[in-house]
Amino acid sequence: MTEPLWQWDELVAASEGRADGTPAAPITGFSIDTRTLGAGDVFVALKAERDGHDFVGGAFKAGAAAALVSRGYRRAKGDGALIRTEDSLAALEAIGRAARVRTNARIVAVTGSAGKTGTKEMLRLCLSDAGPTHASEKSYNNHWGVPLTLSRMPKATQFGIFEIGMNHAGEIAPLTQMVRPHVAVITTVEPVHLQYFPSVAAIAEAKAEILQGLVPGGTAVLPHDNPHFPLLKERADAIGAKVVSFGYAEASDVRCIQANLEARGSSVIAGLGSQRFPYRIGAPGEHYVKNSLAVLAVLLTLGADAMRRLPALARVSAPRGRGQRTLLNAPDGRILLIDESYNANPASMRAALAAMATTPRADFPRRVAVLGDMLELGDASGDLHRGLKEAVDAAGVDLVLACGPMMKLLFDDLKPAQQGAWAQDSAQLVQVFLDTVRPGDTVMIKGSLASRMAPLAEALLARFPKVGG
């Protein structure tokens, strides 16, 4: 029998709340969403866009072992064990801190303007081969995602990997102080969320907040090639952290010596001093290569026998919305769909275009980029959208379909032959998009989440069957 994630008395004490009843089943997890709640989960009734207390009954019907609620919640028929607290989010944070204290796991925290989730997943793959490993689900990297992930961490965990995000200054500090990592990774600093920052240097300062949670003697893994590396290193030095840099520059501690970028992945040789580390990455794109250097730096820092762990990177695959590649059967040929629809910023847009260019024209002669607005870029938005023209041309994009007022600026700057179609929003683009795509196309779809580019990918998947069913 699997050991429960938490004993009831232990959990009540950790929450700093009061028990109202006793669970009829072992506690095996935590959930804030009744749609994905599993039997044995503790349902946490958060107050956000909707009040989670309205769903407590549904949580128990779905098999919840207990629910974390406010003190004033009125018990309803069918409710099981409750933990009553002053504030359910604060209680979840307290449980997360208790989970961190009770484990001897080596903890890694990852932030950055791009590449957080991919880096976290590469670390999960590598470290899972070394021992019980716990990592953030999806992009659970905000004020509720981090404590939720901590609360789910089993006591016997050997390696914990936490993604930490932000779009305002001051958001990372309290999260990293909960996580208390032994290693803090900053993947990159880019012009993202500029709507909320006066400069990219201010973004670098906000990313450097992750260092505030480092345990004494901890290590900062930093991007040497980034123009803000000196600032990040200065912040790490100020708290006495060890610094391990990664990148292409000769001065990088962990350095890319050789990388062969291919449509099905990349072959890499990295170095640390006189040591050489050859490995294969299963997902295509130079951004995966760069982030794999950070992964190698973490493995070396943790003493996780990098040569034995790196082969796991051959199993890396881009998830849906983040570069997933799907072959589609069309009349008289095939279409390659690259689904990057989950989100976008200038750095990730350039990376996606470059990764698209690894697809051989012998297999797919025409490259079609379907691009939606990148949001939260403030006054720099116009220039940053226009600035994508160089990346579009470098990727050899033959045709651009675009939507949104900002992407219109890029669209108008393209060569007439590249201008496929523009629409005010993605819904207006669907039909012309479907009419434009043809066999032999590589189709890459990308835009910020609120630009709603995912329905375009779904429309293509609905029209053409996947190769192999």
Same domain, 146 and 234: yes
Does the structure show a pLDDT above 60 at 1?
Answer: no
Same domain, 108 and 29: no
Q: Which of 265, 284, 315 is the last residue before a domain boundary?
A: 315
pLDDT of residue 371: 98
Q: Mean pLDDT over residues 353-366, rounded?
A: 96
Only one residue has tokens 């959990």, namely: 11
Q: Which of 267, 286, 315 is the last residue before a domain boundary?
A: 315
Does the structure show a pLDDT above 90 at 406?
Answer: yes
CATH number at residue 338: 3.90.190.20
Same domain, 145 and 280: yes
What confidence tier does 138 reach under pLDDT thresholds 50, 70, 90? confident
Same domain, 123 and 220: yes
Q: Mean pLDDT over residues 269-293, rounded?
A: 97
pLDDT of residue 469: 64
Is residue 92 situated within a structural domain? no
Does the structure show a pLDDT above 90 at 306?
Answer: yes
pLDDT of residue 241: 98
Q: Worst-scoring range by mean pLDDT, 7-11, 47-51, 73-77, 97-101?
A: 47-51
Are residues 371 and 400 in contact, defined by beta-carbon separation less than 8 angstroms? Answer: yes
pLDDT of residue 266: 97
Q: Mean pLDDT over residues 49-56, rounded?
A: 91
Q: Mean pLDDT over residues 196-200, rounded?
A: 95
Only one residue has tokens 């919840």, namely: 64
Does the structure show a pLDDT above 90 at 137?
Answer: no
Does the structure show a pLDDT above 70 at 199?
Answer: yes
Per-residue buried b or exposed e for 169-197, using 16+ beta carbons within 10 Å of the residue's own CB = bebbbbbbebbbbbbbbbbbbbbbbbebb
Does the structure show a pLDDT above 90 at 442?
Answer: yes
Distance CA 13, CA 411 (A): 58
What confidence tier does 139 reach under pLDDT thresholds 50, 70, 90? confident
Same domain, 328 and 455: yes
What confidence tier does 245 reach under pLDDT thresholds 50, 70, 90? very high
Are residues 107 and 127 in contact, defined by beta-carbon separation less than 8 angstroms? Answer: no
List the structure tokens of 315. Answer: 């199993």
User: How many residues in total does the chain contain?
Assistant: 469
Q: Which of 87, 121, 147 is the last residue before a domain boundary?
A: 87
Does the structure show a pLDDT above 80 at 363?
Answer: yes
pLDDT of residue 431: 96
pLDDT of residue 468: 80
pTM of the model: 0.93
Q: State how many domains the chain has.
A: 3
pLDDT of residue 3: 83
Does the structure show a pLDDT above 80 at 2?
Answer: no
Q: Mean pLDDT over residues 405-423, rounded?
A: 97
Query: Could you tell me the residue range of the domain that residue 336 belongs to?
Result: 324-463
